[in-house]
Chains A and B, each alone.
Chain A
Amino acid sequence: AQSVAQPEDQVNVAEGNPLTVKCTYSVSGNPYLFWYVQYPNRGLQFLLKYITGDNLVKGSYGFEAEFNKSQTSFHLKKPSALVSDSALYFCAVRDNSGAGSYQLTFGKGTKLSVIP
């Protein structure tokens, strides 16, 4: 079975400081990894994904994430946080081989608050 852990329910960061939202995963085969953002009373918006290749993935709104196979992690980062980045962030994984390859499994989410 595949799973995702987001160890922090909430992350607080000052505006202008770098931010990191942590994610670790478990799959049987090779992972497809995704980050989504949810603003209040809205659906989920895609930020970025790792499929294969370069371990550093760049996405929307200046976000990036680093895939680390040995640590089974896919942490989301941004060099300089904005107040408008305050939202709920979800990490998700899909096993790209065999059983489970259709299903996307989400973490429980991390609430990011950027303090002016």
Chain B
Amino acid sequence: NAGVTQTPKFQVLKTGQSMTLQCAQDMNHEYMSWYRQDPGMGLRLIHYSVGAGITDQGEVPNGYNVSRSTTEDFPLRLLSAAPSQTSVYFCASRLSGSGEQFFGPGTRLTVL
């Protein structure tokens, strides 16, 4: 199993540009989530999904969109990038119930 994969690993955008961060998992996990990590702030939940076709907002959803058309994939879209979205983004997945989350390697995004 590849686990949770994310692409790209690094990305530089200009203010106002849009892009999609890709996330895929091959463990047949129902739950998938996107987090951003900023220094001194831990991980903050952006959006999550409890299954194909079902998504919901987390703590910091503004400026981001998600969709879940398949169990495996959960892309994160930045609609119009802003410097405040400079961060490291992690995708994670888990089974329902008491299972722990498995994290991808992260995408480091810089918005100029």
**A and B interact:** yes
Inter-chain contact B101/A43, CB cutoff 8 Å? no
B1 at the interface (CB under 8 A from A): no
B98's partner among A32, A46, A109 (CB-CB below 8 A) is A32
List residues 81-112 of chain B with CB under 8 A from any CB of chain A. 90, 92, 98, 100-106
A32 to B48, CA, bound (A): 18
Surface stretch bound by B, among A14-22, A68-76, A78-86, A96-104 = A96-104
What residues of chain B lie closer than 8 Å to A49, measured between beta carbons? 98, 100
What is the distance, in angstroms, from A98's C-beta to the closest C-beta of chain B? 14
What is the size, in residues, of chain A's interface with B at 8 Å between Cβ atoms?
21
User: What 0/1 pattern do residues 35 to 73 of B give for CB contact below 8 A with A?
Assistant: 100001111110010100000101000000000000000
Inter-chain contact B98/A90, CB cutoff 8 Å? no
B31 at the interface (CB under 8 A from A): yes
B33 at the interface (CB under 8 A from A): yes
Inter-chain contact A106/B50, CB cutoff 8 Å? no
If the complex has contacts A34-B100, A96-B98, A103-B48, are A43 and B42 also in contact, measured as CB distance less than 8 A? no
